[in-house]
């Protein structure tokens, strides 16, 4: 494509699902003595960010000028080194190996692992490529680690899953916001501008075992920080629902008109009176009553959940309990109130709607639905029987790497599984057993460093496409500059591989044409994009899906009915399960993991930005002063954090912002500094979500132990 002529390009941030709007201005060429970034970044007025950006957004252009950018395909030679090769040689090697393995072991011996940062077009094409070019059912993506529990709960209760079923701006008028398990002040800072009203009204209530930056926002006025033990959010929510029902605070008219299943809920929460909930969660009974009464007394109440309550083996049921509480209060679909969940990855919403999930076809269609299969097969131009059935969710897929009847070749797009997956040593071991590992990325991530073939791909400012934000708004990503010579888009890569595999159907190169096909494939589905196109989105239209042909989109769901056939929301009684592991002695603590302001996901991008890396250059463990004193741990001292899965040696950060029975590790660091060496790969039986937020560990001083190996991005561990 020719270089764009416009000096200023309106696009969106490459990081989280807030998808802050920004403008990129191309800079004039200068000599090497005074180098400049290829574009200048400016915040752009948009409903979600209102011109603001976080540190990650402001520094995002740094990634476009990195000297370690991948620009040439790499293959592993006979000596075990990655060496440069031509595109034809690399793609011929991939295609011939895939064909051989497919002939020897069947199509399901090839796996595809996608990412929540891919554009809608690439996510759609990847699902299509896996199923009809390779013929495998073995596709899933890292969004399984992000939104899967909330998605399963939303589908079960409402019949549809959209992170926020209302525009983010609706929160501006909220008087009470209950925020469970999300540290938005660090993960998506511009979001907190939408909490100012609730904060000023004293109605911001944050549930988190840590006194996070978001929790500290409650210190103004009558806000409230509720600090339960990790993994007890489900019991907390059952207790709040018990109080609402027992004290006559429920919206009985709403419940009678718009829901079904209330009687079962009454029975299921009857055993969770406040004092019993206190004994499990550690939250005082008077605080529980205060929270329930605040939620019921407000005319503008919103309940929002995040990964902290969802990344558990009971994540789906916990999200369901939050929905039940919202329904009992009459919030979903009521003007000025609501329930929602905060999507994490940049295209976590769109990435799961159109085919990366192992059980879904485009438009959020179930892959087991005969009519859905018929419709998509017609759009793809293939026999319906050629589309495989459901595959394996991410953890199960990764646990089958190299197994005799498992996956023997894996194609990874936009994910860094050797940092981001739970119980990550098992994943590293599995990758080592593969016959072929192919990684598409723009930097040599830790996963790419283990690959047999590495394919260099375009970055965010070098490509056209669409993303879907946390509020279900479909937005345009626009190309501001050309990619370096030798770099290719994933659409081109899939086109070329499909040709070599003699695949049926068409694999287009133009993102706008791919989007048109996506729209047709989604028509009539829950996530219907059929009324949209690049041209229409370029008009600046606020496009919230569902957006069928002839509609104006759906900024607010549930105003009249829910997505079940009878229009009613399902109240689904849930109960606490037996946890997969919990502390059994005073020497054991509960580990929870999470994000930092300066870093994002596996750090492949942010650890390459000096300003961000210098602010948080190494992993640390946060521990309460009383716990530290008991264990002989001092501020800044070296600590070994260990369990049966692994061990880390890290610096101690001793402060009172965490419970005495809990420790915290950020998960952005690779190698022997990876928090996921300790996390468990037990999963939610409904969503397949791993239990990232609860693992049993022991701490001890480790003054003579070495620090983790230097964490320079791309270094092979």
**CATH number (domain holding residue 47):** 2.20.25.90
CATH of the domain at 627: 2.40.40.20
End-to-end CA distance of the chain: 38
Under 8 Å between Cβ of 213 and 186: yes
Picking from 498, 513, 537, the residue at the C-terminal end of a domain is 537
Whether residues 275 and 417 share a domain: the answer is: no
The residue with tokens 């790419």 is: 448
Q: Is the per-residue pLDDT at 313 higher than 60?
A: yes
Distance, CA of 606 to chain centre? 16
Full DSSP string of 297-319: H-SSEEEEE-HHHHSSTTHHHHH
Taking only the tens place, the pLDDT of each residue in 664-680 is 999 999 999 999 999 99
Residue 258 belongs to what domain range?
164-341
- Residue 152 resides in a domain: no
Kindly state whether residues 98 and 142 are assigned to the same domain.
Answer: yes
- Whether 376 and 270 map to the same domain: the answer is no
Q: Residue 557: is it exposed, middle or buried by C-beta count within 10 angstroms (0-12/13-18/19+)?
A: buried
Instruction: Tell me if 379 is assigned to some domain.
Output: yes
Give the C-alpha separation, 361 to 387, whole Å.
10
**Is the domain of 90 the same as that of 48?**
no
Which of 42, 65, 88 delimits the end of a domain? 65
Q: Give the pTM.
A: 0.95
Q: What are phi and psi of 561, to 5 degrees?
A: -155, 160
Buried b (16+ CB within 10 A) or exposed e, 632-669: ebeeeebbbbbbebbbbbbebbbeebbbebbbbbbbbb
Let me know whether 35 and 86 are in one domain. Answer: no
- Cβ neighbours of residue 586 under 8 Å, at least 6 residues apart? none
Residue 256 pLDDT greater than 80, yes or no: yes
Is residue 714 over pLDDT 50? no
Q: What is the pLDDT, as a whole number, of residue 200?
A: 95
136 and 232, same domain (yes or no): no
Q: What is the pLDDT of residues 538-595, one digit of tens each?
A: 999 999 999 999 999 999 999 999 999 999 999 999 999 877 677 777 789 999 999 9
CATH number of the domain residue 517 falls in: 3.40.50.740
Whether residue 168 has pLDDT greater than 50: yes
With respect to residue 553, please indicate whether it lies within any of the assigned structural domains.
Answer: no
Domain count, the chain: 4
Judged against a pLDDT cut of 90, whether residue 703 lies above it is answered with: no
Residue 584 lies in a domain: no
Query: In this predicted model, what pLDDT tens digit does every residue of 475-511 receive, in sequence order?
Result: 999 999 999 999 999 999 999 999 999 999 999 999 9
Last residue of a domain, one of 37, 65, 93: 65
Domain with residue 336: its CATH number is 3.40.228.10
Residues 412 and 370 in one domain: yes
Q: Give the C-alpha separation, 483 to 461, whole Å.
A: 8
What is the average per-residue pLDDT within 139-146?
A: 93
Q: Are residues 510 and 411 part of one domain?
A: yes
Section 303-315 average pLDDT: 94
Let me know whether 185 and 238 are in one domain. yes
Domain co-membership, 335 together with 460: no
107 shares its domain with 52:
no
Residues 6+ apart with CB under 8 A from 655: 622, 624, 625
18-71 pLDDT per residue, tens? 999 999 999 875 444 446 789 999 999 999 999 999 999 999 999 999 999 999
Residue 323 counted as domain residue: yes
Residues 330, 479, single domain; the answer is no
Q: How many CB atoms lie within 10 A of CB 85?
A: 18
Q: DSSP strand E in 667-711: where?
A: 695-701
Q: Quick one: average pLDDT of 120-146? A: 97
**Cα angle, residue 372 at apex, residues 367 and 376 outer, rounded to 5°:** 95
Residues 71-113: tens digit of each pLDDT: 999 999 999 999 999 999 999 999 999 999 999 999 999 999 9
- Asked if residue 523 belongs to a domain, the reply is yes
Mean pLDDT of 525-531: 97
Does residue 657 belong to any structural domain of this protein?
yes
- Measured CA to CA, the distance from residue 649 to residue 655 in angstroms comes to 19
Mean pLDDT of the chain: 94
pLDDT band for position 170 (cuts 50, 70, 90): very high
The C-alpha angle 398, 470, 617, rounded to 5 degrees, equals: 60
Q: pLDDT by residue (tens digit) across 323-359?
A: 999 999 999 999 999 999 998 888 989 988 999 999 9
Q: Does 566 reside within a domain?
A: no
């Amino acid at each position: 494509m020719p270089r764009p002529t416009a000096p200023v390009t309106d696009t969106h941030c490459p990081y989280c699902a807030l998808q802050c709007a920004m403008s990129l201005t191309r800079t004039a060429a200068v000599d090497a003595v005074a180098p400049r970034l290829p574009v200048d970044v400016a915040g752009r007025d948009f409903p979600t960010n209102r011109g603001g950006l976080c540190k990650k957004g402001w520094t995002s252009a740094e990634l476009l000028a990195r000297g370690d950018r991948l620009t040439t395909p790499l293959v592993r030679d006979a000596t075990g080194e990655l060496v440069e090769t031509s595109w034809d040689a690399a793609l011929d090697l991939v295609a011939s190996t895939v064909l051989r393995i497919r002939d020897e072991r069947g199509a399901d011996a090839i796996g595809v692992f996608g990412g929540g940062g891919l554009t809608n077009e690439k996510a759609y094409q990847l699902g299509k490529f896996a199923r009809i070019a390779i013929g495998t059912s073995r596709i899933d993506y890292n969004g399984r680690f992000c939104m899967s529990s909330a998605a399963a709960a939303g589908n079960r209760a409402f019949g549809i899953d959209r992170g926020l079923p209302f525009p983010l701006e609706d929160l501006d008028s909220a008087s009470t916001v209950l925020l469970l398990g999300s540290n938005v002040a660090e993960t998506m800072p511009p979001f907190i501008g939408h909490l100012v009203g609730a904060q000023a009204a004293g109605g911001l209530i944050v549930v988190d075992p840590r006194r996070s930056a978001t929790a500290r926002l409650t210190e103004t006025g009558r806000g409230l920080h509720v600090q339960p033990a990790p993994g007890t959010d489900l019991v907390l929510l059952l207790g709040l629902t018990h109080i609402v029902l027992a004290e006559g605070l429920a919206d009985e008219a709403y419940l009678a008109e718009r829901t079904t299943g209330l009687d079962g809920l009454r029975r299921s929460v009857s055993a969770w009176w406040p004092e019993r909930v206190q004994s499990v969660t550690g939250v005082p009974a008077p605080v529980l009553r205060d929270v329930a009464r605040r939620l019921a007394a407000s005319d503008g109440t919103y309940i929002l959940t995040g990964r902290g309550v969802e990344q558990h083996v009971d994540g789906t049921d916990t999200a369901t309990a939050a929905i039940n509480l919202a329904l009992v209060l009459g919030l979903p679909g009521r003007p000025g109130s609501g329930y929602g969940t905060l999507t994490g990855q940049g295209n976590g919403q769109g990435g799961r709607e159109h085919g990366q999930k192992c059980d879904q076809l485009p438009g959020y269609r179930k892959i087991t639905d005969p009519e859905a299969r018929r419709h998509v097969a017609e759009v793809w131009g293939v026999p319906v029987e050629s589309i495989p059935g459901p595959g394996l969710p991410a953890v199960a897929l990764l646990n089958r790497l190299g197994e005799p009847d498992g996956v023997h070749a894996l194609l990874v797009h936009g994910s860094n599984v050797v940092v981001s997956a739970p119980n990550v040593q098992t994943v590293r071991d599995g990758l080592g057993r593969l016959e072929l590992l192919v990684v598409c990325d723009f930097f040599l991530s830790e996963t790419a460093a283990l690959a047999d073939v590495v394919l260099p791909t375009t970055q965010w400012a070098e490509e056209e496409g669409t993303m879907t934000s946390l509020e279900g708004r479909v937005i345009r990503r626009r190309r501001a500059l050309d990619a370096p010579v030798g770099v290719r888009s994933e659409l081109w890569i899939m086109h070329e591989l499909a040709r070599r595999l003699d695949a049926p159907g068409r694999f287009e190169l133009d993102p706008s044409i791919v989007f048109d096909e996506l729209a047709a494939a989604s028509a009539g589905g829950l996530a219907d994009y059929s009324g949209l196109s690049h041209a229409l989105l370029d008009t600046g239209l606020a496009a919230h899906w569902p957006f069928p042909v002839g509609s104006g989109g759906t900024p607010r769901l549930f105003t009249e009915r829910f997505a079940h056939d009878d229009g009613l929301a399902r109240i689904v009684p849930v109960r606490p399960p037996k946890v997969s592991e919990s502390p059994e002695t005073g020497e054991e603590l509960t580990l929870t993991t999470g994000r930092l302001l300066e870093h994002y996901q596996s750090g492949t991008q942010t650890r390459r930005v000096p300003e961000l890396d210098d602010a948080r250059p190494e992993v640390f463990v946060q521990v309460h002063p009383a716990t530290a004193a008991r264990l002989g741990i001092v501020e800044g001292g070296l600590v070994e954090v260990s369990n049966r899965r692994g061990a880390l040696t890290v610096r101690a950060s001793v402060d009172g912002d965490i419970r005495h029975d809990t420790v915290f590790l950020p998960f952005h660091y690779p190698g022997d500094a990876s928090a996921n060496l300790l996390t468990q790969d037990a999963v939610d039986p409904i969503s397949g979500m791993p239990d990232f937020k609860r693992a049993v560990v022991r701490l001890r001083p480790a003054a003579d132990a070495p620090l983790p190996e230097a964490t320079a991005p791309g270094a092979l561990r």
